[in-house]
């Protein structure tokens, strides 16, 4: 086996990409633990550094962190949240920040790649469905409400933002509303470096081409691409 193939082999496994992802046998779990420690020996200590997260089924690896206000709420409906994957070609620290009275709802197993940044502002709401994988380097900014369905694939360096942070003013100088909820349906594939903006509603089974900008409604089972995103195919089916 060449050095390249050995490295590639080591990057597979407990990163959410193998067919044995949900295999709970002792041998599989031990193999995953070895892979985590080989990737970064400090991974053996992270459950001890963040015992509250560990007991809640939130596994932090590779220096990724969770910063949580005491009033913030995490609801986990089965499964686990794994933050960090063990790919040699992707190493970077990310974080989840939950502000005052923020809510994070996890509907099952969720995997966040290294370097993902999620910020849920005061009183805002983020929901992620079971089987969804957010690839390394992506950003999710929640000022009001973002819902991401089950079995979604969010590719590298995608940005999802339901608000502008800044405000437009009317003629009287009054601030105009700068947020609108985002809803991403089940089994949606979002291509690399796409931008999902406030008010976007993406139907189940849709595919968003790389580098697209989405701010409106996307029909189910539709491929869109471009800036602004426009329909290029209908009636599509895809699989991970």
pLDDT digits (tens, 9 = 90+) for 182-227: 999 999 999 999 999 999 999 999 999 999 999 999 999 999 999 9
pLDDT of 7: 41
The rounded distance, in Å, linking the Cα atoms of 46 and 126 is 25
In degrees and rounded to multiples of 5, residue 138 shows phi and psi of: -80, 160
Q: Quick one: pLDDT band at residue 19, thresholds 50, 70, 90?
A: very low
Q: Which of 47-61, 82-96, 117-131 has the highest mean pLDDT?
A: 117-131
pLDDT score for 69: 94
Token pair in block for residue 225:
């691409």
Sign, CA dihedral 222-185-16-44, equals positive
pLDDT of residue 21: 47
Residue 121 has pLDDT above 60, yes or no: yes
Write down how long the chain is.
240
The Cα–Cα gap between 86 and 9 comes to 11
Q: Are 181 and 144 in contact (CB under 8 A)?
A: yes
CATH topology of domain 3-234: UDP N-Acetylglucosamine Acyltransferase; domain 1 (2.160.10)
pLDDT of residue 14: 39
Report the relative pairing of strands 125-128 and 145-148 from DSSP bridges: parallel
Full-model pTM: 0.82
Which of 16-30, 53-67, 102-116, 156-170 shows the lowest per-residue confidence on average (mean pLDDT)? 16-30
Q: Check residue 4 and give its pLDDT.
A: 39
């Amino acid at each position: 086996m060449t050095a390249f193939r050995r490295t590639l082999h080591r990057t597979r496994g407990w990163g959410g990409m193998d067919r044995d992802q949900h295999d709970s046998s002792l041998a599989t779990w031990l193999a995953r633990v070895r892979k985590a420690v080989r990737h970064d020996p400090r991974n053996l200590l992270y459950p001890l550094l963040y015992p509250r997260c560990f007991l809640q089924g939130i596994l932090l690896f590779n220096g990724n962190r969770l910063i949580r206000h005491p009033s913030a709420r995490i609801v986990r409906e089965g499964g686990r949240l794994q933050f960090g994957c063990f790919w040699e070609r992707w190493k970077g620290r990310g974080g989840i920040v939950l502000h005052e009275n923020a809510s994070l709802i996890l509907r099952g197993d969720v995997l966040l790649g290294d370097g993902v940044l999620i910020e849920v502002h005061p009183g805002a709401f983020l929901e992620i469905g079971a089987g969804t994988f957010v690839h390394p380097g992506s950003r999710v900014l929640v000022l009001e409400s973002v819902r991401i369905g089950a079995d979604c694939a969010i590719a590298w360096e995608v940005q999802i933002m339901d608000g502008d942070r800044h405000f437009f003013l009317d003629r009287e100088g009054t601030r105009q509303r700068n947020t609108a909820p985002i809803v991403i349906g089940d089994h949606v594939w979002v291509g690399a470096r796409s931008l999902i903006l406030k008010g976007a509603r993406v139907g189940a089974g849709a595919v968003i081409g790389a580098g697209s900008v989405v701010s409106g409604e996307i029909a189910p089972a539709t491929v869109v691409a471009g800036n602004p995103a426009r329909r290029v195919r209908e009636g599509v089916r895809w699989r991970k």
